[in-house]
Amino acid sequence: MAARVEDLAADGQPAPVDVQILPMRRRHLRSVLRIEGQAGHRGWSLGLFMSELANQTGRRYLVAKVGVAVVGFAGMLFVGPDGHVTTISVDQAWRRRQIGTRLMLALSREAIQRGATALTLEVRATNEPAQAMYRRLGYAPAGIRRNYYADIGEDALVMWAHDVDTPDYARRLDARERSIRGRTMIVGLDGSGADPGDAPETEEP
Ligand SMILES: CC(C)(COP(=O)(O)OP(=O)(O)OC[C@H]1O[C@@H](n2cnc3c(N)ncnc32)[C@H](O)[C@@H]1OP(=O)(O)O)[C@@H](O)C(=O)NCCC(=O)NCCS
């Protein structure tokens, strides 16, 4: 979707947007699947999201909301000293507003709190926007997994951010956070706000 004129700030960039980041719940899955469906290749099924949410051990799934609308989501698996990004997507209509970055920052900070020393992920070899986002968060290419995305016949680039438990990496995250336009409210993670739990929401049954 093209940016609306009223969404553009004077410098031509999308206007700053306030975003809430909170734990993914089953009631978010309709919106999550809608966003997942924009990917243009076979994405995660409802069953896969449900089983990931049912098994909360060693993983974190988050959604980003603007007002009542879910506009993005991301997940991470914590495996020993590594945090492994399992999925991330932002609604096409809301991209380039640092929503992906904000989700990544929240997951990275949680991984570090849980004792991670490195973060990793696979990304489609041709997915330049995502790779650019990851590079800005300190990820570097480490290898290729041939035909990893078999349904679309595409290779994966494996990326790693090492030494994420160091002051240097903390400074990188802080700098990235400072560059975000708009406020970010983290809700329900480590006592940083009231967790709305499973309270019903009007838009997400
Ligand atoms: C990748 C994705 C999650 C990024 O979300 P986003 O909210 O638009 O990203 P951000 O606004 O946080 O962008 C972060 C940085 O990445 C880079 N970037 C993001 N989109 C870009 C694009 N289309 N072209 C070039 N650079 C881009 C920029 O450096 C950007 O920083 P800046 O806007 O401050 O210059 C989003 O494009 C998406 O959902 N893509 C489809 C799903 C997907 O590819 N997921 C990744 C699977 S591994």
pLDDT digits (tens, 9 = 90+) for 32-48: 999 999 987 778 999 99
DSSP alpha helices (H): ranges in 114-166? 128-136
Atom 43 of ligand 1, nearest CA residue: 89
Q: Is 55 exposed, middle or buried (0-12, 13-18, 19+ CB in 10 A)?
A: exposed
Q: Which residues contact 174 (CB under 8 A, 6 or more apart)?
A: none
Q: Which residues contact 2 (CB under 8 A, 6 or more apart)?
A: none
Contact 107, 83 (CB under 8 A): yes
Domains and CATH numbers, the chain: 5-186 (3.40.630.30)
Mutate to test the pocket of ligand 1, among 122, 133, 135 (most ligand atoms within 8 A of CB): 133
Cα–Cα distance between 58 and 108 in angstroms, integer? 14
Mutate to test the pocket of ligand 1, among 34, 65, 95 (most ligand atoms within 8 A of CB): 95
pLDDT digits (tens, 9 = 90+) for 56-101: 899 999 999 999 999 999 999 999 999 999 999 999 999 999 999 9
pLDDT digits (tens, 9 = 90+) for 112-170: 999 999 999 999 999 999 999 999 999 999 999 999 998 889 999 999 999 999 999 99
| Residue 128 is a catalytic residue | no
Contact 106, 62 (CB under 8 A): yes
Task: Report how far ligand 1's centroid is from the alpha carbon of 97 (Å).
Answer: 9
pLDDT at 9: 61
Contact 123, 86 (CB under 8 A): no
| Residue 122 is a catalytic residue | yes
Give the pLDDT mean for 9-35.
90
